[in-house]
Amino acid sequence: MTPPRQNTALSQAPSTTPAKAKTTAGSTFNTSKLEGKRNVMFESTRLLLIPNERMEAILPLPEWVAACVEQLSDSHPVFTGKEWDDLPHLTTKDQTSTLVGKEDEVFQAYRPLHELIVKTCGSWPGSSEARPVLLRPKNTPKSTLKENSSRPDGANPKDSSLKIEWDKERYVWVDLFSAYEFKNANEKNLVGLMGIQNTKQIIWDLQHMLWENINRRFAVGMTIEETEARLWVATRSAILVSTGFDTQTERKRLFRTFAFFAFADQTALGLDPTMRMPKGADFFLVNIDGKRYQVRKRPIADHRARALHGSACRVYEAWLVNDDANRLPKTDVADLKRAKRVAIKEVWRDEYREPERKIYDRVMKAIKEIEKRSPEKLNLRPGDKAEDYFVNISGDEEVMVNGVRDGTAGIMAGKEFPKGAAWIKTSLGMQTGRDDRIGVYSPSMLNSEGGEGRKEISLKAKSGELVPSPPSPHTLPQIHHRVHYRTVMDNIGEPLHHIARLDVAFKALADVVQACKIMCIAGFNHRDLSPGNIIVDEKNERGRLSDLEFAKIHMSDGAGHHVRTGTPDFMAVEVLRGFYMFDPNEPEDGDKDFPLRHNAGHDLESIFWIAIFMLYNSMVDDEDQAEHAIDQRKGRDEIFDSQYRKDLFLSGRELGRKMAQHFDGSSFKAMKHVLEMQKSLKVAYTEFEAGLSDEDQGKERNTHFLKVHDYFGEKLLEMSAIFKGKKCERVDDILRADRRKLKATQLNQEVDS
């Protein structure tokens, strides 16, 4: 039996903490039931209403289909048949118009119409095989990555070879190339245009398609509420929804829509033609920087890909099978044991940021210059090289689709939108163009037509009712566009948060402190430290620092140096607040006289928070695992609230009280080391900020923190020694394994309360 938690001299922390924002990265999303997850996804969506004509430009028909549709006049016999008469019609009763009948039966009428459209287009020269339409399934699609209990109301599978009997077989999300959601009624409770529930469902479908299918660049779908249809396109920057059309009165537009879903090529439907997928294989082939790689389909890490918007980072295990991508596949290395093994990272990076490899090369050039001329400054262990502490990048490439750089601006057919485009705010504070990682607000851009007559659709603050704002000239917030980008990394390993053994984790974190020290000596700050950016090398369990895309020279005055960067849960509290907080001459409100400049201390503070996270991430020698795991994860989520973290960091005793509720034995000993790290960093902050002046403003004294690097490294190695030989298991793994034994309601209440 595990002994009871030790009573310490520290009193209990307050029982309540500020609520943590709900995102797809939080435990609320992971443990909520389906409706709760849909709510989180809906509230984090950037939703842009665009004219039907713009949507048709984004979703182009194949040339032969476009020619077929073009020659059909509105009075053509194809638009007057029984298939149209049988479509759902509105019936007026008690001054209310509704569709009569059960949804399962009402919307089956679209199946014969689809067959008519396929037959009409199929007789046109150059026609190809059509995809079938599947409507109103009773079974849920199988998920390859996660548990799934939802299903779309309809879809198009990738081709006609998939003879899916929806009521009998278990189909998979990966095979669906579109998603439909239907409703008999249009409640119009979302800005007076459409139903909130149906909107949540289609957003959920599109998110499934983007996450499940690794070669999806964007996802497409359609909603029909009563007789109003809308097209949807989900990208990594925003979701676009068309203004809608009536399925009875705009028959040619509906014809075009079904023809698109039936005949559009895979690239037009959002798939990536640069990823070659051999049939039945567990790998795909991709060319990067003139070389061909064989890539295992299942990612090493894909946590960021779960969110609809953002970098969608996925990391894969891969092998270099041909150093000349122009050579025939038959010349590829067949025996992977002889091939160079690498990791490939795929992201949608901010289009205004430099490619990561360019930044990496700049940082490593500066480090190697010091290593060559003044190696004593780095003080490396015998036999070590500076590059041993970093994940090394050996190749990169911006993805090109049909000869054009692949990015969300291209997917959306341009950056500017015509008159009639408007944001639909799904929650307060959304649709600002805010970057999902750095919290920086993008500038606004004036619409190409000057913005006259457009409306911004927003959320009314007091009542929560969704209403249109009064019409007025304004600027449409700029979409935070992203570019499809791949890098090749020479080191394979697990991200730090996947590591259960705390002796390994803290030793790896000590290595990363050394990497940060090396960067500091070379004049750089990392500015985005998180467990996901620390790789534990599988060969020697060395910690390696990765993701240098936000790294900057400390003394530079370039754009973006003063803005907040980092992963919010691990960002230094000064960076979160935007001003210096430890100037002894400004003890009350902090020092706002000098612009905050990211310094080496802020990187060290991120490491401090990562150390706390890792303590909460694993259970040590605990037999009552499930019971204590829930409590420990709840404590972790409370601490990693941005406002509460600020209070905890300013008050070391408060942090000690909070952590003492959850730790005993080895973890309690390690906790004391963490608190000593905090104390040393606060002293260094105070000394650094006391010396701020109009001439210096902190630019010249980044190396002030070098002694703190050494102290952090020593403490982390001592923490590693504490856990040597201890049995450790990740909290999330414990809860996942025990989920079937726990009542779902208990788990939800314990974690979300």
Say how far apart CA 519 and CA 283 lie, in whole Å.
36
Report how far residue 749's alpha carbon sits from residue 84's, in angstroms, rounded to the nearest whole number: 50
Take residue 518 and report the two structure tokens written for it. Answer: 């090396």
Alpha-helical regions (H) of 587-664: 600-617, 625-639, 642-650, 652-660
Kindly report the pTM of this predicted structure.
Answer: 0.85
* Tally of CB atoms within 10 A around 193: 21
Asked if residues 65 and 259 have their Cβ atoms less than 8 Å apart, the reply is: yes
Work out the percent of the chain whose per-residue pLDDT is above 90: 52
CA 245 to CA 240: how far, in whole Å?
15
User: Among 94-108, 569-583, 665-679, which stretch is predicted with the lowest mean pLDDT?
Assistant: 94-108
pLDDT at res. 519:
96
Considering only residues 629 and 436, tell me which one the structure prediction assigns the higher pLDDT: 629
Check residues 93 and 514 and name the one with the higher pLDDT: 514
Instruction: Give just the sign of the alpha carbon dihedral 641, 646, 649, 655.
Output: negative
Q: Which of 378-382, 608-612, 689-693 has maximum average pLDDT?
A: 608-612
Kindly tell me if the per-residue pLDDT of 128 is higher than 70.
yes
Residue of 404 and 32 predicted with greater confidence: 404
**What pLDDT was estimated at residue 127?**
81
Pairing of strands 283-288, 404-405: unpaired
**Two tokens at 299?**
């990612």
Question: Which pLDDT score is estimated for 134?
Answer: 85
| pLDDT band at residue 270 under the 50/70/90 scheme | very high
Domain residue limits, the chain: 492-752
For residues 518 and 702, the answer to whether their CB atoms sit within 8 Å is: no
Angle (CA) 333 338 340, round 5°: 90
Rounded to the nearest integer, the mean pLDDT of the chain is: 82
> Pairing mode, if any, of strands 46-50 and 239-242?
parallel
Whole-number pLDDT of residue 346: 97
- CA 533 from chain centre, in angstroms, equals 14
Which of 109-123, 324-338, 434-448, 662-676 has the lowest average pLDDT? 434-448
Check residue 428 and give its pLDDT.
Answer: 39
pLDDT of residue 556: 61
Judged by average pLDDT, the poorest of 183-197, 285-299, 474-488, 662-676 is 474-488
The residue-averaged pLDDT of 611-639 equals 85
Q: Amino acid letter at 710?
A: D
More confident residue, 305 or 33: 305
pLDDT band of residue 301 (cuts 50, 70, 90) is confident
Burial 455-469 (b: 16+ CB within 10 A, else e): bbbbbeeeeeebeee
> How confident is residue 443, by pLDDT bands cut at 50, 70 and 90?
very low
Per-residue pLDDT tens for 18-49? 334 445 555 555 556 778 888 888 888 999 99
pLDDT the model gives residue 70: 93
pLDDT at 460: 33
pLDDT digits 0-9 by tens, 697-741: 655 678 889 999 999 999 999 999 999 999 999 988 888 777 655
pLDDT band at 151 (very low <50, low <70, confident <90, very high): confident
What is the model's pLDDT at position 673?
97
Phi and psi angles of residue 135, each rounded to the nearest 5 degrees, phi first: -125, 140
Q: Is 733 or 677 the better-scoring residue by pLDDT?
A: 677
Homologous superfamily of 492-752: Transferase(Phosphotransferase) domain 1 (1.10.510.10)
With beta carbons less than 8 A apart as the criterion, state whether 433 and 479 touch: yes
DSSP string, 79-125: GSSHHHHTS--EEEETTEEEE-S-HHHHGGGHHHHHHHHHHHHHTST
Determine the 3-state secondary structure of 535 from DSSP. strand
DSSP H or E segment with residue 309: none
pLDDT at position 361 is 97
Helices 251-263, 63-70: inter-axial angle, 10-degree rounding: 160
Q: What is the pLDDT of residue 445?
A: 29
pLDDT of 568: 83
Compare 263 and 467 and report the one with higher pLDDT: 263
Compute the average pLDDT of residues 184-195.
88
Q: How many CB atoms lie within 10 A of CB 748?
A: 16
With b meaning 16 or more CB within 10 Å and e meaning fewer, what string describes 423-440? Answer: bbbbeeebbebbbbbbbe
**Cα dist from 271 to 62, 209, 235, 259, 345, whole Å:** 15, 11, 12, 18, 18
Contact 210, 216 (CB under 8 A): yes
- Residue 188: exposure state from Cβ atoms within 10 A (0-12, 13-18, ≥19): middle
Contact between residue 359 and residue 349 where contact means Cβ atoms under 8 Å apart: no
Residue 698 Cα to chain centre, angstroms = 34
What does the alpha-carbon distance between residue 41 and residue 426 come to, in Å, rounded to a whole number?
10
Q: What pLDDT was estimated at residue 31? A: 54
Is the pLDDT at 464 greater than 60? The verdict is no
Q: What pLDDT shows up at residue 629?
A: 86
Q: Where are the beta strands (DSSP E) in 351-443?
A: 393-398, 400-401, 404-405, 422-425
3 state SS of 344: strand
Which of 127-136, 333-342, 353-362, 525-534 bottoms out in mean pLDDT, i.e. has the lowest? 127-136
Q: How far is CA 43 from CA 30, 36, 282, 733, in A?
A: 15, 11, 35, 28
2: pLDDT strictly greater than 50: no
Q: Which of 132-136, 163-167, 746-750 has the lowest mean pLDDT?
A: 746-750
Judged against a pLDDT cut of 90, whether residue 125 lies above it is answered with: no
In this prediction, residue 103 has a pLDDT band, given cuts at 50, 70 and 90, of confident
- Residue 565, pLDDT score: 66
Percent of the chain residues topping a pLDDT of 70: 79
Question: Is it the case that residue 502 has pLDDT exceeding 50?
Answer: yes
